[in-house]
Structures are given as C-alpha cells and as structure tokens.
Amino acid sequence: MDPATSSDVPQVPAVPAPQGAQATAPEAEHEAKLFSFNCSQGAYNFGQVYFLADELGIRQLQFAEPELDIQYNDPDDQKRVKSINIIGYTASDQLINSEYDPKEKALTSLDKWRGIGDSSDSGKWIFRGGTFTLVHYEVDPTEDEEENPQTVVDFEAAP
C-alpha cells in the first residue's frame, strides 16, 4: 500500500459533539484527519482504504452498502432487469474509484462492473457523528452499453 501524499489527505473540518452532550453547554468541536491508501488496482477500478484520526485514535473506516438481489428477465441476458431488492446491508473496508469532497464532507465511489461502465454501483457517504454514513446508493446491473443507474438508497432527498 502506498500512503497518500499530504495534498491527498484532506482534513475534515470540525464537527459537533455526539448526541448526549448537555443541551445548556455549547457544542464541543473536534477535528479529524482522513487518510487514504491505495490498496488494489485493476484495468478500470482502483480500491482505497480509509483511516480516520481524531482524539479517540486512529481507526480504519467501514462503509455500509446494501446487499442486493437482482433478478433479470432472462438470466442469460443481463440487459433487462426484472427486480432489484435490498435484502440486507454489509460493511466494506474499501471503496472503489473513490473521491473525497471537503465542501460536502462526503466520500463517493463508482465501482465499474465492466470496462465500458455500462454496469456499475456507486455510493455516497457523508461525515457526521464521527464517521461516514451511507446516504445515497445507485446500481446499474444491466449490460446494455448504456449508463442507466437506479437509486436503491436515498437519504438525501426530502421526504
């Protein structure tokens, strides 16, 4: 694993104290640093692991991802989807083709299932409460030479 250079290591801005702090006291803030390390590389995907350093120490981050049951109209031809259902959640210790946006305090990923990018999954995790929380996830399970992802998790949109 090659460590990221200092320019690649964004500093996460101060965040409010966790829930449970006294309501009458001003919210305490703490700072954290986010470190990324490249750990795998393929023809069109690269994997990164992330570590967070704060007053609690250094820890490797885990990222929630939905476990999907994808059914196709024809299992031998993955061009038309019959259904996509979330059947649970898993945690991954790395993100694929990921980027950090310091303005949004968010990590995003895009995992291409094929080189042309017509089938993939992507996610967005925002930093809150001292960790990164899944807020958006899309999947495009079709091999139809078109990019047409379907949203399966969306906690960004208003109810």
pLDDT single digits (tens) 103-135: 999 999 999 999 888 999 999 999 988 889 999
CB 80 within 8 A of CB 143: no
Helix (H, G, I), strand (E, B) or coil at 16: strand
Report pLDDT for 77: 86
Q: How far is CA 156 from the centre of its chain?
A: 14
Provide the residue-wise pLDDT of the chain in tens; the chain has 159 residues.
344 433 233 333 323 333 443 333 333 455 899 999 999 999 999 999 999 999 889 999 999 999 999 999 998 888 899 999 999 999 999 999 999 999 999 999 999 999 888 999 999 999 988 889 999 999 999 989 999 999 999 998 765
Integer Cα distance of 35 and 11 in angstroms: 9
Report pLDDT for 72: 93
Q: Domain boundaries in the chain?
A: 2-154
Task: Give the 3-state DSSP-derived string for 123-154, with helices as H, strands as E and coil as C.
Answer: EEEEEECCEEEEEEEEEECCCCCCCCCEEEEE
Integer Cα distance of 15 and 31 in angstroms: 7
Integer Cα distance of 149 and 123 in angstroms: 11
Report pLDDT for 87: 96
And the tokens for 23?
């309501």
